[in-house]
């Protein structure tokens, strides 16, 4: 048995860097390119067979540079680099592999570990560099769901923002989960029901919870279990508190304490995949202000706005914008009160902002 260069996961000490899901305002092109690049790299590799490799499956949990990866496999962490052949696909400063990538690690040369294959991604979470080239920066790959965190009060729930987040999740190929925290601040439970009724009727998972009372927290854990999630939502809605409640060992500083240890904080600029003790992972990402999506969003919003994916196929026109068209299933649903006027207004506001 070869001596493995085991690295225990260091206790995580960063303040949760919520991904401020993008305003849908700034949208860019080229979102297919990263998927394509991985596919291409993978198929080239599959062709060239190299002897003597001892490959194990792993997952990229952190990237320190183009050549320094932390790979998790079966609970063990390996410091790894890229194989020579993968390195030839590196260009500029863009990393070839992203946090969350499923890879094959060659352990035959232990304690030197090399990433030999990057497996095709099921999705990516990206943002685009500024400037005229708008190079795609993949923040993470293979993330299952976005926990869209709102609070009932402080700050006040903003359904229009939930709608935007749901659109963005759909465009990124991530499952949205609507979480309303701080329900201890709600006097009338009917109000909560009313605020979330549409999302439930349209088939979204909605969790009403409170880190103070503990209500809804087991339900949230069940949703997170065995999946890879990223928390998103306005600051102050309680994301760090929710995570600490579920995984106290992470000790993320919440609003009360974060000002004290701002200096000593862990400063990776890259995303990190943190395992939950109950299964699955939490993706922590640096504060990213604009994860701008692709330029076709305006054309896609009529299909991905919450609930509209079930109506849009029944519109007469495939490119129906649900505004002035004849025989529009969304306008019909609006008349029949299946779609509340508030949600329809929110839809129009998103469309106008693009």
- State the nearest-atom distance from the C-beta of 140 to ligand GDP, in Å: 19
Decide the pairing of beta strands 55-65 and 281-284.
unpaired
The answer to whether residue 339 forms part of the interface with Zn ion (CB under 5 A) is no
- Give the separation between CA 354 and CA 352, rounded to whole angstroms: 5
In degrees, rounded to 5, the angle at the alpha carbon of residue 325 between the alpha carbons of residues 322 and 326 is: 120
Choose the binding region for ligand GDP from 6-14, 138-146, 209-217, 296-304 (rule: CB under 6 A). Answer: 209-217
The answer to whether residue 303 forms part of the interface with Zn ion (CB under 5 A) is no
The answer to whether residue 328 forms part of the interface with Zn ion (CB under 5 A) is yes
Output Rg (C-alpha) for the chain, integer angstroms.
22
Choose the binding region for ligand GDP from 60-68, 248-256, 264-272, 282-290 (rule: CB under 6 A). Answer: 248-256
Quickly list DSSP for 313-353: GGSSSTT--SSS-SS-HHHHHHHTTSS-HHHHHHHHHHHHH
The answer to whether residue 301 forms part of the interface with Zn ion (CB under 5 A) is no
Binding-site partner at residue 236 among Zn ion, ligand GDP, none, CB < 5 to 8 Å by type: ligand GDP
Binding-site partner at residue 320 among ligand GDP, Zn ion, none, CB < 5 to 8 Å by type: Zn ion
- State the nearest-atom distance from the C-beta of 237 to ligand GDP, in Å: 5
C-beta of residue 354 within 8 angstroms of C-beta of residue 298: yes
* Residue in 221, 239, 322, 343 binding Zn ion, rule: CB under 5 A: 322
243: phi then psi, degrees, rounded to nearest 5: -65, -40
Kindly compute the dihedral angle of the four CA atoms of residues 88, 75, 169, 14, in this order, to the nearest 10 degrees. Answer: -90
- Give the separation between CA 159 and CA 25, rounded to whole angstroms: 17
> CA separation (Å) from 83 to 42, 113, 114, 297?
13, 9, 5, 37
The answer to whether residue 190 forms part of the interface with ligand GDP (CB under 6 A) is no
Choose the binding region for Zn ion from 91-99, 145-153, 184-192, 326-334 (rule: CB under 5 A). Answer: 326-334
CB nearer to Zn ion: pick between 46 and 341: 341
* Residue in 239, 281, 294, 343 binding ligand GDP, rule: CB under 6 A: 239
The answer to whether residue 210 forms part of the interface with ligand GDP (CB under 6 A) is yes
CB nearer to ligand GDP: pick between 83 and 254: 254
The answer to whether residue 83 forms part of the interface with ligand GDP (CB under 6 A) is no
DSSP state at residue 199: H
- Give the separation between CA 148 and CA 231, rounded to whole angstroms: 6
Binding-site residue total for ligand GDP (CB under 6 A)? 18
Choose the binding region for ligand GDP from 90-98, 131-139, 232-240, 272-280 (rule: CB under 6 A). Answer: 232-240
The answer to whether residue 334 forms part of the interface with Zn ion (CB under 5 A) is no
The answer to whether residue 333 forms part of the interface with Zn ion (CB under 5 A) is no
Quickly list DSSP for 27-82: EES-TTHHHHHHHHHHHHHHHS--TT--EEEEEEEEEEETTEEEEEETTEEEEEEE
- State the nearest-atom distance from the C-beta of 346 to Zn ion, in Å: 16
Kindly report the length of the chain: 354
Binding-site partner at residue 240 among ligand GDP, Zn ion, none, CB < 5 to 8 Å by type: ligand GDP
Q: Which of residues 254-283 bind ligand GDP (CB under 6 A)?
A: 254-256
C-beta of residue 344 within 8 angstroms of C-beta of residue 334: yes
Binding-site partner at residue 210 among Zn ion, ligand GDP, none, CB < 5 to 8 Å by type: ligand GDP
Binding site for Zn ion (CB under 5 A): 315, 320, 322, 328, 330
Binding site for ligand GDP (CB under 6 A): 16, 181-182, 184-185, 210-212, 235-241, 254-256
């Amino acid at each position: 048995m070869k001596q493995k260069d085991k690295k225990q996961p260091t206790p995580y000490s960063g303040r949760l860097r919520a991904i401020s899901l993008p305003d849908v305002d700034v949208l860019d092109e080229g979102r297919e390119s990263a998927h394509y690049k991985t596919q291409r790299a993978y198929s080239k590799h599959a062709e060239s067979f190299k002897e003597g490799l001892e490959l194990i499956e792993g997952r990229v949990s952190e990237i320190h540079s183009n050549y320094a990866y932390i790979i998790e496999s079966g609970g063990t962490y390996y410091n790894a680099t890229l194989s020579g052949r993968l390195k030839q696909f590196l260009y500029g400063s863009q990393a070839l592999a992203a946090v969350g990538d499923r890879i094959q690690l060659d352990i035959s040369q232990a304690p030197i570990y090399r990433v030999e294959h990057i497996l095709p991604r099921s999705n990516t979470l990206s943002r685009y560099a500024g400037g005229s080239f708008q190079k795609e920066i993949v923040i993470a790959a293979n993330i299952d769901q976005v926990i869209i965190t709102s609070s009932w009060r402080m700050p006040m729930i903003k359904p229009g923002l939930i709608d935007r987040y749901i659109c963005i999740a759909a465009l990124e190929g991530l499952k949205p989960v609507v979480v309303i925290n701080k329900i201890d601040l709600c006097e009338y439970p009917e109000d909560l029901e009313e605020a979330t009724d549409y999302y439930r009727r349209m088939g979204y998972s909605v969790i009403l919870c409170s880190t103070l009372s503990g209500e809804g927290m087991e339900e949230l854990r069940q949703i997170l279990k065995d999946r890879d999630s990223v928390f998103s939502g306005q600051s102050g809605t309680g994301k760090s508190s929710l995570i600490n409640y579920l995984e106290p060992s992470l000790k993320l500083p919440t609003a009360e304490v974060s000002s004290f240890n701002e200096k000593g904080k862990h400063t990776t600029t890259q995303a990190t995949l943190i395992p939950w003790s109950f299964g699955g992972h939490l993706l922590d990402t640096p504060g990213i202000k604009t994860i701008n999506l692709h330029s076709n969003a305006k054309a896609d919003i009529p299909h991905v706005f919450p609930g509209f994916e079930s109506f849009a196929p029944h519109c007469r026109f495939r490119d129906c914008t649900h505004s002035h068209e004849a025989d529009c299933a969304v306008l019909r649903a609006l008349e029949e009160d299946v779609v509340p006027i508030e949600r329809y207004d929110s839809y129009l506001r998103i469309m106008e902002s693009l």
